[in-house]
Structure 1
Amino acid sequence: MKGENSTIWSFFFLEGFSRYPKLEVVLFVFSLVMYLITLFGNSTLILITVLDSRLHTPMYSFLGNLSFMDICYTSASIPTLLVNLLSSQKTIILSACAVQMYLSLAMGSTECVLLAVMAYDRYVAICNPLRYPIIMNRQICVQMASVSWVTGCLTALLETSFALQVPLCGNVIDHFTCEILAVLKLACTSSLLMDTIMLVISVLLLPIPMLLICVSYFFILSTILRIRSAEGRSKAFSTCGAHLTVVILYYGAALSMYLKPSSSNSQEVDKIISLLYGVLTPMLNPIIYSLRNKEVKDAVKKLLDKITV
């Protein structure tokens, strides 16, 4: 490939799961059901955090942001996947590919930072409960959420703009979406600048936020263990359990995708991980928070009562 001439491609072929035609119908049904559940679950969470005054707190404000990101993240790639699974001509134009790449990177990067912000929020709530309203006031919450969005969007813009400038010696992407690592595999030659940018951003948005989350939970756990009453410990654990579960799911998939050696797994395994990362995790987020949170359950019941009246 290094000896071939580069071309400015106006469109790309998304190979997806075309090597397994019998599996495509199953994947279509699976992806469609998961996508609809994701839209419904996250839209419901956003709605109740807006309508229910009891949920006008920093934690639920961040949760509303998280749900909106999940909707945008899945909507960036899953509709294209659904169309291509039923189509024999699996193509995407350059501009759509660029938008898809940018949105996926932006939402994924923003979520990395936001999960660390949510861990800090839980740390303040449990370790400094008396000062919580002062430390996590409305202005601070807006600023922290804004930093998450700005960081994610700017790093995604940097990665996407440089990735689109890399000369490509083919237009067949061995993926179901314009995932940046899959696109860069078409590069005629390796780019030290692009590799450096990817490495630096991956370290900034994966291990560092993960370290901040671990530090926050270290102090949270030590504080919880000092609580004498079983009821108090149970309540403290319940406020952190949902967030910790989401963190494990999200970072587990993300780290396996972006910080592994490129030769450690086949591209087919990468596509399966990407599908689970892009559909299953966003779908499970509202379910996890609903099942483990009494306030969310009560807000959903209140909303259903209003609808059915």
Structure 2
Amino acid sequence: MDLKNQSFISFTLLGLSEKPNLRLPLFSFFMGAYILCVMGNVLILMLISSQSRLHTPMYFLLGSLSFVDVCLTSVTIPRTLYSLISQDLSISFNGCFIQLFLFLMAGNMDSFLLAIMALDRYAAICKPLHYRAIMSKRTCISLLTFSFFLVSFNGTLHATMTSTLSYCDWVIHHYYCDIPVLLSLSCTDTSAQQMVLYIEGSVMVMGPMLVILGSYILIIRAVLKLRTSKGSNQTFSTCSSHLTMVFLFYSSVIFMYCGPSSLHSPAYDRVISVVYSVITPTLNPFIYTLRNKKVKNAARMVIQCGR
């Protein structure tokens, strides 16, 4: 089918499940997760912007992560909620690929921010005397700007390559437009797209993950040299929480985008995608601040001022 004619056709998003009796539980789950995600991340942004003691590289990056997490969930969840409540499953051709582009941008930016935050923790723990010079405001902004241009290029590349395919099936067994699902609907040769997805996608995913793992290995090695067991236990506790979220995020992303197609099925893909597109962004603000005394004290001060 000609590309111009395709642009007037809509895809059908079947959602997380086609069973009518699951519509209400799924609506409650997505609504609860979205409210929790937005409230948690907006609260962190408010605390960081209002408290001068939190105007440091670590909290600047944490605020950036909170903003990106809200964007990531806002790309998919509101559209899913609308489909569940209105039973309108259609999404336009252009709307589908705009959603794909925005999702790839936000998801990859989330990944790069986790890597930059790991570098920040490495500099703070392993190079404390040079921390302010290493993680200066200029460095943070430069890293974020570079990451933004990189994820923009990645999103544009995949959205453009996928939108130029010819489609014979317009029913998407998913709750948002994603690359593996769209490739499975094409009736043309997708070997070029698959190769780009494996090579370029692997670099975009594995690069930040290796930076995170390398940073935490160096952090753990430095912590083991600490003389006080209290400091070691506290740092290990924080690292374990962060690494748990990193494992959930990257294991699900690697399975979805870098795993062999023989392992994919509509049911498994939908469940796996919930981990990195809903659960991780919702839990991120709580995991990264739950053991943070400065954020707790800032929240306590805001509450007391409000009273």
With normalisation by structure 1, the TM-score equals 0.93
Residues 14 and 174 of structure 2 are in contact (CA less than 8 Å); yes or no, is this contact kept in structure 1? yes
2:76/2:176 contact within 8 Å kept: yes
The answer to whether the Cα contact below 8 Å between 1:111 and 1:148 also exists between their aligned partners in 2 is no
What amino acid does structure 1 have at the position aligned with 2:85? L
Distance (Å, rounded) in 1 between the aligned partners of 2:289 and 2:120: 19
Task: For residue 265 of structure 1, report the CA deviation from its aligned partner.
Answer: 3.8
Count residues with an aligned counterpart. Answer: 305
Paired position in structure 2 for 1:83: 82
Match of 1:23 in 2: 22
CA deviation vs aligned residue, 1:97-120 (integer Å, no higher than 9, x gap): 122111110011112222111111
Gaps of 5+ in 2: none
Q: Which moved more, 1:64-73 or 1:112-121?
A: 112-121
Q: Which residue of 1 aligns with 2:33?
A: 34
Aligned to 1:120: 119
| Counterpart for residue 8 of structure 1 | 6
CA distance in 2, matches of 1:153, 1:37: 27
Q: Give the number of the structure whose residues are more often helix, by fraction.
A: 2
1:165 aligns with 2:171: no
SS of the equivalent of 1:168 reads coil
1:47 equivalenced with 2:46 (yes/no): yes
Structure 1 CA distance for aligned equivalents of residues 144 and 237 of structure 2:
23
One-letter amino acid of the structure 2 residue matched with residue 68 of structure 1: F
Q: Counterpart of 1:262?
A: 261
**Deviation for aligned residue 1:5:** 8.8
CA distance in structure 1 between the partners assigned to 2:251 and 2:48 by the alignment? 27
Question: CA-to-partner distance for each residue in 1:36-58, whole Å, 9 max, x for gaps?
Answer: 00000011111111111111111
SS in 1 for 2:18: coil
1:223-256 alpha-carbon deviations (Å, 9 max, x no partner)? 1000111233234335544432331221122122
Map 1:217-256; keep pairs closer than 5 Å. 217-237=216-236, 240-256=239-255
Provide runs of 4+ in structure 1 moved above 4 Å.
4-7
Q: Which residue identity does 1:165 align to in structure 2?
A: T
Q: Secondary structure at 2:215's aligned position in 1? A: helix
Matched letter for residue 40 of structure 1: M
Per-residue deviation, residues 161-210 of structure 1 (Å, max 9, x unmatched): 11111111121111111112211211112223212221122211112221
Please state how far the C-alpha of 1:75 moved relative to its aligned partner: 0.4
The question of 1:210 aligning with 2:212 is answered no
Matching residue of 1:61: 60
Show the 5 A alignment for 1:112-191: 112-191=111-190
**Residues 242 and 292 in structure 1, CA contact (< 8 A), matched pair in contact too:** no
* Structure 1 residue 139, shift from structure 2 partner: 0.6
Q: Decide which moves more: 175-184 or 5-14.
A: 5-14
| Amino acid of the structure 1 residue aligned with 2:288 | Y
Q: Which residue pairs with 1:74 in the alignment?
A: 73
Residue 110 of structure 1 contacts residue 153 of structure 1 at CA under 8 Å; is this kept in 2? no
For the residues of structure 1 that align with 2:97 and 2:44, how far apart are their CA atoms? Answer: 30
Whole-Å separation in 1 of the counterparts to 2:211 and 2:285: 23
Give how far 1:271 is off: 0.7
How far apart in 2 are the matches of 1:14 and 1:249? 25
Residue type at the aligned position of 2:141: V
CA distance in 1, matches of 2:295, 2:261: 41
Deviation at 1:215, TM superposition (A): 1.3
1:260-299 alignment runs, 5 A limit: 260-299=259-298
Cross-structure match for 1:110: 109
- The structure-2 alpha-carbon separation of the partners of 1:231 and 1:17, relative to structure 1 and needing over 3 Å to count, comes to closer
Query: Which sections of structure 1, spanning at least 5 residues, go unmatched?
Result: none
Whether contact under 8 Å (1:58, 1:138) holds in the other structure is: yes
Q: TM-score, normalised by structure 2?
A: 0.93
**Contact 2:126–2:219 (CA under 8 A) maintained in structure 1:** yes
Partner AA of 2:205 in structure 1 = L
3-state SS, counterpart of residue 12 of structure 1: strand
* 1:136-161 superposed Cα distances (whole Å, 9 cap, x missing partner): 11111111121222211211111111
- Indicate conservation of the 8 Å contact 1:126/1:236, yes or no: no
Secondary structure of 1:206 counterpart? helix
